[in-house]
């Protein structure tokens, strides 16, 4: 098992390197540079700017010196924010996005998972349709619609919760977390329902029932473990989606998180910032995918057996 994890870690190094390389060259291919502006830029100014950020070097040179800096843990200076390093920007946004992602994940997993399990217990009854209908609403609503709607109802009409901010007034974390988590809650509800139904029709559950085990024990001890397997496989990608999808929510609620920096960087062609955030997010996402694979493996007896054989 540990060897498997170690092996997967080793494998992710070339993956991250590939991500860096592709992004490095892709951003430079995109039309418009970091210093293009509506006001005309004189050639002297353009040259001075490029010299300050080493953009006057050849691309391979830039690439090598970027990698060298990266090896020392230095993402370089931001092009858009003079005097700020990408490291500083990332670590100013990350805790906030992570916190937002964590709350959204809580919303998604517990509300979604619970709804899915409840629905699967009595398929094709109101107990199924109710939660599943809600899950559908969650999936169908884009966050750029759900966010403003929630704000309108709870922030303006009812005046219960603040309309924007993060940690600046009490209760301002609730609406963003729900907005971001809603879609994933919907997905998880559906996945867990179908996973549960799948499992419940399997032989070993019928055996368990036949043995006279009470239904709640059948569910908690046997069904949940197998039934939530698809959900766990889904958590990795869901987390990735949360991290990169937090941008809309962060904009709607004026939250100073990483997603907003990232999108601003893309629109500003802030090369180092795009690369830095991409590399950083990619590493995180790969880590979480790995985590969800390991969890899935651990919960699935057959695959677990395979690991044992391997190691």
Partner 1 sequence: MLNPLVTTRNFLLIICITLLAACSGGGTGETRVEQGTREGVLHFGNGTEIQGLDPHIVTGVPEHHVIQTLFEGLVLKNPYTLEIEPGIAERWDISDDGRFYRFYLRPDALWSNGDKITAEDFRWSWQRALMPALGNLYNYMLFPLVNAEAFATGAIEDFSQVGVRVIDEYTLEVELNEPTPYILQLFDHYSTFPVHRATIEAFGTASDRLSQWARVGNIVTSGAFELVEWGLNSHIRVEKRASYWDADKIQLNAIVFYPTENLTTEERMFRDGQLHRTEDLSLDKIPVYLRENPELIEIAPYIGTYYYMVNTIRAPFDDVRVRKALAMTVDRDLLAETVLQGIVAPAYAVVPPGTLGYNPPKTFGFDPAAARELLAEAGYPNGEGFPAFEILYNTQESHRKIAVAIQQMWNQHLGVEVSLINQEWKVYLTSQENFDYQIARRGWIGDYVDPNTFLDMFITDGGNNKTGFSDPLYDQIVLRDAPAAQDRDARYELFHQAETILLEQMPIIPIYTYQSKHLKHPSLKGMPANIMDYYNYKYVYLEAAE
Partner 2 sequence: MTEATQTGQLMEVPKGVSLWQDAATRLRKNKLAMFGLVFLIFIILLCLITPWIAPYGYEEQNLRLGATSPSAAHWLGTDIFGRDMLTRILYGGRVSLFVGFIATAVALVIGVTYGAIAGYAGGRTDSIMMRFVDILYAMPFMIFIVLLMVVFGRNILLLFLAIGAVEWLTMARIVRGQIQNLKHQEFVEAAVSIGLSSFAIVWKHLIPNALGPVIVYTTLTIPSVMLLEAFLSFLGLGIQPPSSSWGLLISNGVESMEEYPWLLIFPGLALTLTLFALNFLGDGLRDALDPRSSGD
In the complex, the residues that contact partner 2 under the rule CB under 8 A are 11-12, 14-16, 18-19, 22-23, 26-27, 29-31, 123, 129, 132-133, 136-137, 139-140, 142, 144-145, 148-149, 152, 187, 190-191, 194, 197-198, 201-202, 229-230, 233-234, 237, 240, 244, 247-248, 262-263, 266, 274, 277-278, 281-283, 285-286, 289, 296, 300, 302-303
Closest distance of CB 11 from partner 1, Å: 28
Residues 6+ apart with CB under 8 A from 268: 34, 79, 80
Q: What whole-number distance in Å separates Cα of residue 36 and Cα of residue 29?
A: 14
Q: Can you read off the two tokens belonging to residue 148?
A: 């403003």
Nearest CB to partner 1, comparing residues 15 and 149: 149
Of these partners, partner 1, partner 2, none, which one is at the site of residue 261 (CB under 5 to 8 Å by kind)? partner 1
Choices 57-65, 118-126, 152-160, 238-246 (CB under 8 A): range interacting with partner 1? 152-160
145 binds partner 1 (CB under 8 A): no
Closest distance of CB 216 from partner 1, Å: 8
Please say whether the beta carbons of 264 and 213 come within 8 A: no
Please say whether the beta carbons of 235 and 292 come within 8 A: yes
Burial class (CB in 10 A: 0-12, 13-18, 19+), 58: exposed
Please say whether the beta carbons of 112 and 193 come within 8 A: no
* Cβ count within 10 A of residue 144: 13
Residues 6+ apart with CB under 8 A from 86: 75, 76, 77, 78, 272, 273, 275, 276, 277
Nearest CB to partner 2, comparing residues 166 and 187: 187
Q: What whole-number distance in Å separates Cα of residue 16 and Cα of residue 276?
A: 12
Residues 6+ apart with CB under 8 A from 121: 127, 196, 219
Q: What whole-number distance in Å separates Cα of residue 250 and Cα of residue 245?
A: 9
Choices 67-75, 79-87, 235-243, 279-287 (CB under 8 A): range interacting with partner 1? 79-87
113 binds partner 1 (CB under 8 A): yes
Closest distance of CB 79 from partner 2, Å: 15
Q: What whole-number distance in Å separates Cα of residue 92 and Cα of residue 98?
A: 11
39 binds partner 1 (CB under 8 A): yes
127 binds partner 1 (CB under 8 A): no
Of these partners, partner 1, partner 2, none, which one is at the site of residue 40 (CB under 5 to 8 Å by kind)? partner 1
Nearest CB to partner 2, comparing residues 29 and 210: 29
Residue numbers at the binding site for partner 1 (CB under 8 A): 30-33, 35-42, 44-49, 51-52, 77, 80-84, 89, 92-93, 106-107, 110, 113-114, 148, 151-152, 155-156, 159-166, 168-171, 173-174, 220, 224-225, 228, 251-254, 256-257, 260-261, 264, 267-269
């Amino acid at each position: 098992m540990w060897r498997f994890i170690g092996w997967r870690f080793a494998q992710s190094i070339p993956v991250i390197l590939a991500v860096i390389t592709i992004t490095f060259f892709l951003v430079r291919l995109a039309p418009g540079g970091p210093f293009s502006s509506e006001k005309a830029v004189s050639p002297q100014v353009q040259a001075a700017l490029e010299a300050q950020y080493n953009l006057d070097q050849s691309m391979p040179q830039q690439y090598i010196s970027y990698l060298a800096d990266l090896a020392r843990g230095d993402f370089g200076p931001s092009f858009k924010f003079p005097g700020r390093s990408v490291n500083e920007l990332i670590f100013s946004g990350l805790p906030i996005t992570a916190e937002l992602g964590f709350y959204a994940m809580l919303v998604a997993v517990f509300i979604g998972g619970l709804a899915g399990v409840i629905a699967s217990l009595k398929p094709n009854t109101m107990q199924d349709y109710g939660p599943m209908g809600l899950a559908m609403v969650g999936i169908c609503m884009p966050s750029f619609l759900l966010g403003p709607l929630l704000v309108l109802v709870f922030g303006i009409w009812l005046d219960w919760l603040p309309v924007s901010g993060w940690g600046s007034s009490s209760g301002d974390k609730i609406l963003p977390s729900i907005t971001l988590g809603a879609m994933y809650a919907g997905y998880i509800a559906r996945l867990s329902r179908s996973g549960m139904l799948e499992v419940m029709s399997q032989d070993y559950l019928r055996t368990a029932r036949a043995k006279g085990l009470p239904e709640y024990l059948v569910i908690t001890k046997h069904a949940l473990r197998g039934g939530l397997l698809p959900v766990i496989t889904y958590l990795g990608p869901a987390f990735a989606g949360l991290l990169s999808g937090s941008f809309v929510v962060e904009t709607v609620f004026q939250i100073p998180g990483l997603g907003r920096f990232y999108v601003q960087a893309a629109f500003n062609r802030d090369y180092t910032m795009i690369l830095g955030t991409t590399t950083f997010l990619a590493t995180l996402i790969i880590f979480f995918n790995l985590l969800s694979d390991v969890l899935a493996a651990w919960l699935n007896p057959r695959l677990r057996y395979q690991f044992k054989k391997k190691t």
